[in-house]
């Protein structure tokens, strides 16, 4: 089920291989500030991306008085245009290249060659956004949920990060929390509509993991199962790397 996706109208369906989910484009829209709910210093944190997009376009953004810029996934523009008639969509020239965090997931078969494309709305900007990444609204249903930014998430995440995380009793040498620093979401009274126009700015520790001597492992890869195998339940990582004893698994993880 976790590999299923459905494009929600008015976003047209995309056949596998016709769109590069690994490298989407970041686009910008603006809406009246009075139509949004902003948590913390969203505009200030976003300013470096706005400058980068302006530089790429060769001209500055023109933002209407009382409007605020919102970064959006390029596929989300269909939903923005459909649901927010007062939104201003900026031209393609004001775009930035993105890297999706888990847009390309590898699931190896016995020949260790197959791969399956997936998507994620958490994206990394290669230039001008050091130590940060964006979580964007994306009107596509993946598994059982639509990958948008709910008003509740936009409200709660940055406040939890600012007010709760600092007082959690834990060893910060072992556990690192990627805090959500700021957010924006539309204030439409219908949350099912509002969730299509929002973004969260979050710390990005992945980009500096190698410098800290860390190796990152996508946790779901450790429990992926149900593929080729004698019982259909053996995790793929156990089968592929022949980790059939606890000692082998510990040595593999240590390495």
Per-residue pLDDT tens over the stretch 157-192: 999 999 999 999 988 888 888 899 999 999 999 999
Arithmetic mean of pLDDT, 46-54: 90
Amino acid 160: pLDDT? 95
3-state helix, strand, coil in the chain (%, to 5): 30, 25, 45
Q: Which residues is 97 bridged to in the sheet?
A: 25
| Beta carbons of 184 and 38 less than 8 angstroms apart | yes
pLDDT in tens, 81-135: 999 999 999 999 999 988 877 533 433 333 333 333 345 578 888 766 778 888 9
The strand pairing partners of 146, in sequence order, are 141
What's the confidence (pLDDT) of residue 109? 35
| pTM for the structure as a whole | 0.79
Find, among 134, 125, 146, 142, the residue nearest to 196 by Cα. Answer: 146
The pLDDT of residue 102 is 59
Q: Please report which confidence band the pLDDT of residue 2 belongs to, taking 50, 70 and 90 as the band edges.
A: low
């Amino acid at each position: 089920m976790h590999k299923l996706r459905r494009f929600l109208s008015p976003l047209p369906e995309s056949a596998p291989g016709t769109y590069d989910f690994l490298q989407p484009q970041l686009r910008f829209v603006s809406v009246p500030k009075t139509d949004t709910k902003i948590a913390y210093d969203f505009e200030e944190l976003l300013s470096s991306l706005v400058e980068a997009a302006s530089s790429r376009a060769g001209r500055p953004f023109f933002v209407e008085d009382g409007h605020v810029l919102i970064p959006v996934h390029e596929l989300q523009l269909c939903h923005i245009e459909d649901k927010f008639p007062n939104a201003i969509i900026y031209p393609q020239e004001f775009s930035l290249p993105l890297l999706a965090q888990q847009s390309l997931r590898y699931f190896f078969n016995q020949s260790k060659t197959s791969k399956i494309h997936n998507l994620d709305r958490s994206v990394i900007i290669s230039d001008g956004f050091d130590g940060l990444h964006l979580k964007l609204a994306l009107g596509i249903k993946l598994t059982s949920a639509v990958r948008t930014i709910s008003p509740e998430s936009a409200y709660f995440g940055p406040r939890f990060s600012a007010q709760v995380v600092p007082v959690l009793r834990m060893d910060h040498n072992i556990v690192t929390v990627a805090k959500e620093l700021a957010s924006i979401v539309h204030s439409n009274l219908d949350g099912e509509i509002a969730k299509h126009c929002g973004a969260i700015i979050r710390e990005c520790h992945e980009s500096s993991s190698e410098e800290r001597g860390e190796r990152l492992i996508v946790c779901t890869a450790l429990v992926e199962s149900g593929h080729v195998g004698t019982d259909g339940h053996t995790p793929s990582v156990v089968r592929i790397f022949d980790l059939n004893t606890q000692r082998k698994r510990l040595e593999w993880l240590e390495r």
